[in-house]
Amino acid sequence: MNSQEEVIDFVINGHKDYLPHVSIDSVIFGYHHQQLKILLLKWIGHIGWGLPGGFIKRREPLTDAAYRILKERTRLSDLFLQQFHVFGDSPYRAQERSPAEFREKYGAVTSEDNWLFQRTLSIGYFALVDYSKVDITTDFFTNDFYWCDVNEVPFLLFDQNEVVEMALKMLRLAIYHQPIGYNLLPEKFTIPEIHSLYQTILGKELDQRNFSKKLLTLGLIKKLDERRSIGPHRSPYLYQFDKANYEEALKEGIVHTY
C-alpha cells in the first residue's frame, strides 16, 4: 500500500479481504561485518521501531502469507522461513486504538468498532537472508528502516522484544538441524567468516581449527581453487557449502556435535 486511498480502503474494508485478530510478525536475520542483525522498521505515527509484519488474506495459506510479506519488504523469494511461536499473552496485544489515532496518522475516518482496533494475536516467523541481496522497501505505514545488531535491540513496539528474543532462541536451536549457515553467508566464504558466523549465533567461542576440520571431514563444505585477496600476503582460500552433504548431515544431527 503506497497511497492514502489504498490505506483508507484497507482500514475501512480490510476485514473483507484479511483475517481479523491474527497477524504475522517477521524477524529477518542478516549477517554483516561479523554481526548478526535483524531488520527493523520505523512505523509512521509511533515512537520507536518495530518488526516487519502484516495480515493474512482470507483464502491465503499461512506460509504463503509469510512469504508474501517478506517479499514485499526484501524483494527476495525462496527464503529460509521458520514459524516459531504464537504471541498473545502480553497486555500490549490488547491495547486500545482509536478513530482519532487513525485520523491523525493516516487521514482515515473510521468507527469505534473497526477491525483494526481489536485484540490481535501474532504468529512469529524468522527468516534468513543474504544481507548483500536484500532491497528493503517501505510503504505508506513506514518511512525508514535499519539493520540492528541482535545485541543492541532497542525497546520495540508492542511485545516485539519478546518476539525477537524467542526468534533468537529458536535460531540457536535450529542451527543444529537446519541449513542456517547456508542461508546467511554468501555463496563463497572464508573459514574465518563461517567460524565467526557460528560463534556469533551461538554466543560462545569455538576452536577455529577443530571447527573447520570437522566441517571438511564431514563434507559439509568444500575448498575451492579460488582465493580472496584481502591485503599483502593475505589471500585465504574460498569455500562453498556442499548442500547435499550439508542437508543430509543436518537430518542426521551431526552438526549438533560442534
pLDDT at 168: 95
Q: Which of 53-67, 192-206, 210-224 has the lowest mean pLDDT?
A: 210-224
Residue 255 has pLDDT above 90, yes or no: no
Cα–Cα distance measured from residue 226 to residue 236, given in angstroms and rounded to the nearest whole number:
9
Cα–Cα dist 74/215, whole Å:
31
Instruction: Give per-residue pLDDT as tens, 164-212.
Output: 999 999 999 888 777 788 889 888 999 999 999 999 999 889 998 898 8
Distance CA 40, CA 103 (A): 25
What's the sign of the alpha-carbon dihedral 172, 177, 180, 181?
Answer: positive
93, pLDDT greater than 80: no
Nearest to 181 by CA among 83, 250, 238: 250
Percent of the chain with pLDDT over 90: 43
DSSP 204: S
Percent residues over pLDDT 70 in the chain: 91
What is the grid cell recorded at 90?
A: 502480553
Mean per-residue pLDDT over the chain, rounded: 85
Calculate mean pLDDT across residues 105-125.
Answer: 84
In this prediction, residue 257 carries a pLDDT of: 44
- C-alpha grid cell, residue 77: 523469494
Report the C-alpha dihedral over residues 64, 24, 156, 41, rounded to 10 degrees. Answer: 40
Report the distance separating Cα 61 and Cα 56, nearest Å: 8
Question: Which H or E run includes 221?
Answer: strand 221-227
pTM (2 d.p.): 0.84
Residue 174 pLDDT = 83
Backbone angles phi, psi at 175, to 5 degrees: -60, -20
Terminal-residue alpha carbon distance, the chain: 45
Q: Is 186:130 a contact under the CB 8 Å cutoff? A: yes
Q: If you average pLDDT over residues 238-247, what whole number do you get?
A: 83
**pLDDT score at 50:** 93
pLDDT of 2 > 80? The answer is no
Contact 21, 49 (CB under 8 A): no
pLDDT reading at 162 higher than 60:
yes
Q: Report the 10 Å Cβ neighbour count for 27.
A: 27
Mean pLDDT of 114-143: 87
Cβ–Cβ < 8 Å for 180, 201: yes
Residue 189 has a pLDDT of 93
Categorize the per-residue pLDDT at 244 as very low, low, confident or very high, splitting at 50, 70 and 90. Answer: confident
- Section 2-12 average pLDDT: 82
Residue 10 has pLDDT above 90, yes or no: no
CA-wise closest residue to 55 among 37, 34, 72: 72
The average pLDDT across 206-232 equals 86
Kind plus residue range of the DSSP H or E element containing 163:
helix 160-174
The torsion defined by the Cα of 70, 84, 141 and 115, in degrees rounded to 10, comes to: 120
The domains found in the chain, sorted by start residue, are 4-174 (3.90.79.10), 189-252 (1.10.10.10)
